[in-house]
Structure 1
Amino acid sequence: MLDNATMITAGTDRAAAVVLHRTVALDAPRSQVTAARLRASAHGVYEARIDGRPVSGSVLDPGWTSYEWRLEVQTYDVTHLLDNDNNNGDDHDRHHTLGIHVLLGNGWWRGDLGFEGANANYGEEIGFIGELEITFADGHTQSVPTDTSWSGRTSEVLENSLYNGERIDARLRGTGVPLEVRETAFDRATLVARTGPQATRQEVLRPQRIWTSPQGRTLVDFGQNLVGWVRLRATGPAGTEIVVRHAEVLEDDELGTRPLRAAKATDTFVLSGGDDEFEPTLTFHGFRYAEVTGYPGRLTEDALEAVVVHSDMARIGTFTCSHDLVNRLVENSVWGQKGNFLHVPTDCPQRDERLGWTGDIAAYAATASFQYDTSGFLHRWLLDLAEETRHAGPDGVPHVVPDVLKHGNFSDPALFEKWNGPTAIWGDAAVWVPQALWEAYGDREQLAAHYPGMVLHLESVLPLLSENGLWDKGFQFGDWLDPDASPHEPWAAKADAGVVATACLYRSASFAAETARLIGEDADAARWEELADRTKEAFRQYYVEDGGRIRSDCATVYALAICFGLLDDATRAAAGRRLAEVVRDRDYRVTTGFAGTPFVTWALSETGHVDDAYRLLLETECPSWLYPVTKGATTIWERWDSMLPDGKINPGEMTSFNHYALGAVADWLYKVVAGIQPAAPGYARLRIAPTPGPGLDWAGATLRTPHGRVESHWRRTESGVEVRVVIPPGVEADVLLPDGSTTTVTGGEHVFR
């Protein structure tokens, strides 16, 4: 792959982007070109143009993968860019030459990534590799690879950083100081074909309000917490500097930047003296609000817009109901996914972090895979997870994938050494994310590709088990961000860490056994089944008391035990009753963190406590799912109280307003409230079980499955409940109605009253 090309670079200031370019003399006139294809990749991020026109609508290519082992190569069909009609002239030179220009920035490769002073990088030199292949009518091809015959120059981008933003000087456009181009070393074996979607501009949001703050600053509200950048237009004296700062929230009616920690999230635009437009495409920000200083004249709504950027995924699932706050909650989950699915499933998109934390996506993968088609996006990430885990050895699945933190220079390394080693939920992403994909899409080939990562995770856990079979040793994040924990100690949860970890091990071993059986690894299947059985027995013996009480007696431990199938029927019923009591005793406030939140409403409804599940969902006092909505949230918050009731930002060091994990309750809305569930992987067979409850008059969901569109809607009538379902042609569905009856239907629309 790219065998004829070398990776090239041009040295300049570390913060700046460079331009690499080549003028190509064509072997024959453009009229003879029948096909043209560009293959490219980079250490850093790049934007390629031919004759000034972009080769693609994608941004931040080649994205972020585990660069040490997987550097993706993009392939673009650029035939249309060599068409004679696009030449703006008919002289001989234009017919026989073309120009390739590549803007090369730092991206994730040299991004000073991480927190606590990590400043983690994959290397200190960025580079670009590519090859343009042109096919002519007579059948011969012309290849234009990167090599030292290319030229380099400085660009108008004087600073570019994912965390800090860009500085663009429009006075430098079309100019630049020549730079020496040279080869830069890289491992050619890391090159792989692109396996997931690219990131693109998805939509544009106009300002909803522009006003002056109490401190006299110009603020802009785009009405939605988003990820991307501000595109700005201005005319003014040459050298005028416009500074745009970004934040998710306001505090004391000013830009609330404290949650950004060390990230500056600031773009600076220097005017040329003419009509200028700026778009900082070598960075991205998580923001709803912008502060603009230095703008010449009055800033108006037509001068700027927010460009929403995320990986290109198809929206496949929707939900709506009679409760406006719940509808907004679902939209917050969707926007949280959009903002955090930018090449990597990140924890947050705004502060000095933006890492692929495995625990977040372990909690959220099922929800994400209903809202969007994540098959390609998460498949690519899981390939990285397997590589990182393979090279991590006994430490198991890294807490972040790609694991750039291993390259960090933390100011206090000892602080992070205690985190080393396998941990539940975060490590279980190796199993739970493939499980979510299997249930959503039913792709056996993908499942087989993810199985090695499952094995690596389970084998890393085995040495940590006690003689009694419990996973009660080693570091655990546990029920992270339990709302009863101190804002400064997010790990200090009510749920016993060993209970949580052992329950998670049972779930992972069980699905690994199922996977092994499906792909023909029968010996492995028996091994993991034995581990699952042994784990279940240990859990029951040491953690479950007579009467169904589970050690630490809190909502999370009951939710996990019920949903993961660790209890016999009688104990399960008792655990369900105790869970309902715990929920009622706390006045239906949420008491769970990362571990329990995705499952607590499921556990209530599956044990016959539907009304309690609904009341938990619909509570608006803090902590609850709807409390942030009442405070104007447009994404899911990291903490239940990221914004305190008095309008102050939570004092915790980690306070993001765009973290999707706690939005995993949306999965329950889709599959229980609306009732669309897979009865076979990929929805090859359906289980439609709409579940009305107090507080909603109607609800419904749609899902585009691999077999066609599914709909399930219910509404209350004077005589009871009416249910309407739409089933894809040829697909069987078991419809479980609210009155307890079951009907099997095939294809088409069906109405039940």
Structure 2
Amino acid sequence: MTSTPWLAAMISPGQDFDGAPRLRKEFRLEEGHGGVVKAMLRATAFGIYEACINGTQVGDDVLSPGWSAYEWRLRYRSYDVTTLVTPTSVLGVELGNGWYRGRLAWHGMANLYGSELGFFGQLDIEFADGHVQSIASDASWQAGPSATTSNDLYDGQTIDARRLHKGWAEPGYVPGADWTGVRELAFDADRLAEPVGPPVVRAGVVRPVEIFTSPSGRTLVDFGQNLVGWLRFTVQGEAGQAITVRHAEVLEAGELGVRPLRSAKATDTFVLSGGLDSFEPTKTFHGFRYAEIAGWPGTLTADDVEAVVVHSDLERTGTFECSNELVNQLHRNIVWGLRGNFLDLPTDCPQRDERLGWTGDIAVFAPTAAYLYDVKGFLQDWLLDLAAEQKAANGLVPITVPDALKYCPQPPEFPAPESSALWSEASVWVPWALWEAYGDLSVLANQYESMAAHTRRVEGLLSPAGLWDSGFQFGDWLDPDAAPDQPWAAKADTGVVATACMYRTARLTAQAAGLLGKHDDEAHFEALAARVRNAFAEHYVAASGTIRSDCTTVYALAIAFDVLETPELRGFAGNRLAELVRDNNYRVSTGFAGTPFITHALTDTGHVDEAYRLLLEEGCPSWLYPVTMGATTVWERWDSMLPDGTINPGEMTSFNHYALGAVADWMHKAIGGIRPAEPGYARVLIQPQPGEGISWARTSLKTPHGEVRVEWTLDGGAFRLEATVPAGVAADVVLPDGERHTVEGGEYHFACAPAPVLDYQASR
């Protein structure tokens, strides 16, 4: 059915009802029009909502409508509820604070978008004769209390089972004296937007692996995996007894390690009714592996509780596995980090008083994400928020999207907001990553205005010499050699980092302009890129080839972004990068800027062995050090937990941050051997580059044209490769000895020694 015009109003309860009101509307189907052919509910809220008809949930989504740039985009979701409507029905809704009214960021502030919760919904019922009956939110609805007495995404939820009032959303329920009416709020329906990305859903369940008593006598539950979601259980105990659940990612000295949560309480409380109670706190979420449970009646067992995993509903597309089990665990950690932080938007972390859509993290992680999952709609939706925030800020791409920080007070000494290299680059790098992964030109078309606006703004920030060397920069954030309380104090010169990033941005924007037929813009941005490249060479590259600050990050970026003007300079940079890696005993020496690109830079300049040894190093700092410490997600800091089992003393420490997991992009392309030769894998490059320490690898990817599979082994010095190419797709296969083959859809087998090819056969 075609959606009818909006008749609904944004309605708010007459009382706040502890920030979790219930709303209901009872109605009868109009007679004389035949049977119901279709019934569609469209709904959204100021806050979060759960909708039901006659007591049955209308969808599988949770935490809807999620978090968007509410000032310009309030998304609604649509539900086919044809089978739920009866001659007399009740449309029931529960509201919660969510991102709209709950606490956001680390400043202790709430109500950033408004102080009143609201619901906006319309149920359109189409009958056999074409007549449409609409049940819309309006002043005739009723509002009352729910069983939730407090709810906040950071602090948790309290549910009092004595206030459940079963049947409240079913026909015939008579609201008590504590129910009130509703009032209509001022609301511009032009802000309504249909979502591009998927909803947040319950994506799985994890059972406890151990229940034990801490040194202080507390009951702790270990789920064996750092995850995002909540606990769910059914229990019976004395009426009024409270069960309290605290959450944390790690243990310290055998107790919950809650200091990294900062001010987030991450605590749920459940008050028993005296009967059999089922609890699920769906108005909050937590990042945790461990739960401390107090007040449980009787003895808690592993059969009593389960952890519900919550994230956006994404399809898994890419896999990777190899002979090194530590590397496999690292890859699993990267996948779980994505799952935990892709909860309606790409966040930095899911546990402390932050959980913001930091642009720098996704700028470098987008290629990895687009391999592991189908994130096209998910990231396109987020990019619409980025563009809306950017347009309102005169072209400035904020460091978080949605930009909650613009409402939060900053210290007087903090600089005024301005474009920041790598962070603001998300406006260009993320659309480009989606173009390469999916080959859909509409992504670039939709985001081009945003891409160009960012590039032009930074063009205006360049010095007369053509360098981006002024203003605040995050730079190579969290360089492992920086002090715990000075994450910005990196070895890499911030001007070098920013100018290299700007060169890449100008080139990508020029390429996007060319693809879209905007040839004047293409010429302009190509000239801008050339100017920045020349300035980089003149001011940052010595005659010897040394780049200013002479550290791994500056060489990695210069190589990966192709900033260097001659093959000789590129060769020197590759050799110097490999030398620095060796001199540091293959320990990681890069932060957020350099880490995603260093293994690519080493491999692309012929230093495959150094790249492998860097990946396989187990000492701190390294990718595998957290794995040896039992990590099940990627950490924010290389040493979020110190070797003695204590938590890093810095105030900013997360155990679930995907940014440093961007190395998986290299694992997929260099070890696994799959990369797009043309956008969207319309043509595929299969080129595994084996190195010491890994004797076999297998990887697969569901592309827009079908699944690509690659598996290789090293056996007694012989390299054997099996590849599956989708029908209608050409693949360029490059073997380690340099032999090249071009094949089309089918299964193929290759073998080579260090020199000539030994065997080649293809089957179609």
For residues 27-426 of structure 1, the aligned pairs below 5 Å read 27-28=30-31, 32-82=35-85, 96-119=87-110, 121-174=112-165, 177-393=178-394, 396-408=396-408, 410=409, 412-415=410-413, 417-418=414-415, 420-426=417-423
Task: Tell me what 1:427 maps to.
Answer: 424
Structure 1 position 188, deviation (Å): 1.7
Matched, 1:495 2:492: yes
Structure 1 position 520, deviation (Å): 1.2
Secondary structure in structure 2 of the residue aligned to 1:301: coil
| CA distance in structure 2 between the aligned counterparts of 1:253 and 1:388, rounded to whole angstroms | 44
Structure 1 position 463, deviation (Å): 2.2
- Which residue type is aligned with residue 741 of structure 1? E
Structure 1 position 112, deviation (Å): 2.0
Give the TM-score normalised by structure 1.
0.96
| CA distance in structure 2 between the aligned counterparts of 1:212 and 1:47, rounded to whole angstroms | 36
| CA distance in structure 1 between the aligned counterparts of 2:295 and 2:693, rounded to whole angstroms | 50
Secondary structure in structure 2 of the residue aligned to 1:414: coil
Structure 1 position 15, deviation (Å): 4.4
Structure 1 position 458, deviation (Å): 1.1
| CA distance in structure 1 between the aligned counterparts of 2:696 and 2:235, rounded to whole angstroms | 49
- Asked if structure 2 preserves the Cα contact closer than 8 Å seen for 1:8 and 1:146, the reply is yes
Matched, 1:3 2:1: no
| CA distance in structure 1 between the aligned counterparts of 2:707 and 2:713, rounded to whole angstroms | 20
- Which residue type is aligned with residue 551 of structure 1? R
Structure 1 position 717, deviation (Å): 1.4
| CA distance in structure 2 between the aligned counterparts of 1:150 and 1:392, rounded to whole angstroms | 38
| CA distance in structure 2 between the aligned counterparts of 1:327 and 1:30, rounded to whole angstroms | 61
Structure 2 residue runs of 5 or longer lacking an equivalent are: 167-175, 752-764
- Which residue type is aligned with residue 614 of structure 1? Y
**Bigger shift: residues 8-17 or 429-438:** 8-17
The Cα RMSD (Å) is 1.3
1:67-88 Cα deviation digits (max 9, x unpaired): 0001111111111213xxxxxx
| CA distance in structure 2 between the aligned counterparts of 1:179 and 1:268, rounded to whole angstroms | 27
- Asked if structure 2 preserves the Cα contact closer than 8 Å seen for 1:114 and 1:120, the reply is no
Task: Tell me what 2:172 maps to.
Answer: none
- Which residue type is aligned with residue 125 of structure 2? I
Secondary structure in structure 2 of the residue aligned to 1:109: helix
Structure 1 position 29, deviation (Å): 9.1
1:219-247 Cα deviation digits (max 9, x unpaired): 00011000010002210011110000000
| CA distance in structure 2 between the aligned counterparts of 1:535 and 1:349, rounded to whole angstroms | 37
Structure 1 position 180, deviation (Å): 2.5
Q: Aligned pair in 2 of structure 1 residues 153, 120: CA closer, same or farther (>3 Å)?
A: closer
**Bigger shift: residues 154-163 or 23-32:** 23-32
Q: Aligned pair in 2 of structure 1 residues 553, 120: CA closer, same or farther (>3 Å)?
A: farther
1:150-169 Cα deviation digits (max 9, x unpaired): 11101111101000010000
- Name which of 564, 588, 596 aligns with 2:594: 596
Task: Tell me what 2:628 maps to.
Answer: 630
Structure 1 position 213, deviation (Å): 0.6
- Which residue type is aligned with residue 187 of structure 2? F
- Asked if structure 2 preserves the Cα contact closer than 8 Å seen for 1:28 and 1:136, the reply is no
1:323-369 Cα deviation digits (max 9, x unpaired): 00000000100000000000010000000000000001011111111
- Which residue type is aligned with residue 458 of structure 2? V
Task: Tell me what 2:525 maps to.
Answer: 528
Task: Tell me what 1:448 maps to.
Answer: 445
- Asked if structure 1 preserves the Cα contact closer than 8 Å seen for 2:100 and 2:111, the reply is no
Structure 1 position 719, deviation (Å): 4.8
Consecutive aligned runs of 4 or more in structure 1 exceeding 4 Å deviation? none
- Name which of 660, 685, 688 aligns with 1:687: 685
Structure 1 position 120, deviation (Å): 5.8
| CA distance in structure 2 between the aligned counterparts of 1:11 and 1:442, rounded to whole angstroms | 50
1:102-143 Cα deviation digits (max 9, x unpaired): 001111100121113344610111100000011122221111
- Asked if structure 1 preserves the Cα contact closer than 8 Å seen for 2:33 and 2:131, the reply is no
Structure 1 position 189, deviation (Å): 1.5
Secondary structure in structure 2 of the residue aligned to 1:464: coil
- Asked if structure 2 preserves the Cα contact closer than 8 Å seen for 1:217 and 1:291, the reply is yes
Give the TM-score normalised by structure 2.
0.95
- Asked if structure 1 preserves the Cα contact closer than 8 Å seen for 2:19 and 2:95, the reply is no
- Asked if structure 2 preserves the Cα contact closer than 8 Å seen for 1:9 and 1:126, the reply is yes
Task: Tell me what 2:604 maps to.
Answer: 606
| CA distance in structure 1 between the aligned counterparts of 2:290 and 2:726, rounded to whole angstroms | 43
Task: Tell me what 2:542 maps to.
Answer: 545
- Which residue type is aligned with residue 427 of structure 2? A
Secondary structure in structure 1 of the residue aligned to 2:320: strand
- Asked if structure 2 preserves the Cα contact closer than 8 Å seen for 1:495 and 1:554, the reply is yes
- Which residue type is aligned with residue 75 of structure 1? S
| CA distance in structure 2 between the aligned counterparts of 1:301 and 1:294, rounded to whole angstroms | 16
**Bigger shift: residues 178-187 or 208-217:** 178-187
- Which residue type is aligned with residue 611 of structure 1? D
Secondary structure in structure 1 of the residue aligned to 2:596: coil
- Asked if structure 1 preserves the Cα contact closer than 8 Å seen for 2:17 and 2:146, the reply is no
Task: Tell me what 1:86 maps to.
Answer: none
Task: Tell me what 1:519 maps to.
Answer: 516
| CA distance in structure 2 between the aligned counterparts of 1:696 and 1:31, rounded to whole angstroms | 68
**Bigger shift: residues 30-39 or 152-161:** 30-39
| CA distance in structure 2 between the aligned counterparts of 1:504 and 1:15, rounded to whole angstroms | 48
| CA distance in structure 2 between the aligned counterparts of 1:657 and 1:351, rounded to whole angstroms | 10
- Which residue type is aligned with residue 475 of structure 1? F
Q: Aligned pair in 2 of structure 1 residues 637, 15: CA closer, same or farther (>3 Å)?
A: farther
- Asked if structure 2 preserves the Cα contact closer than 8 Å seen for 1:30 and 1:96, the reply is no
Matched, 1:705 2:696: no
| CA distance in structure 1 between the aligned counterparts of 2:162 and 2:571, rounded to whole angstroms | 72
- Asked if structure 2 preserves the Cα contact closer than 8 Å seen for 1:28 and 1:96, the reply is no
Q: Aligned pair in 2 of structure 1 residues 334, 387: CA closer, same or farther (>3 Å)?
A: same
Secondary structure in structure 2 of the residue aligned to 1:577: helix
| CA distance in structure 1 between the aligned counterparts of 2:328 and 2:702, rounded to whole angstroms | 19
| CA distance in structure 1 between the aligned counterparts of 2:657 and 2:488, rounded to whole angstroms | 17
Give the number of aligned pairs.
737
- Asked if structure 2 preserves the Cα contact closer than 8 Å seen for 1:563 and 1:602, the reply is yes
Structure 1 position 459, deviation (Å): 1.9
Structure 1 position 413, deviation (Å): 3.4
Structure 1 position 636, deviation (Å): 0.4
| CA distance in structure 2 between the aligned counterparts of 1:591 and 1:703, rounded to whole angstroms | 31
- Asked if structure 1 preserves the Cα contact closer than 8 Å seen for 2:345 and 2:382, the reply is yes
1:555-594 Cα deviation digits (max 9, x unpaired): 0000000010111211101100000000000000000000
Q: Aligned pair in 2 of structure 1 residues 39, 518: CA closer, same or farther (>3 Å)?
A: same
Structure 1 residue runs of 5 or longer lacking an equivalent are: 83-94
Structure 1 position 276, deviation (Å): 0.5
Task: Tell me what 1:658 maps to.
Answer: 656
Task: Tell me what 2:756 maps to.
Answer: none
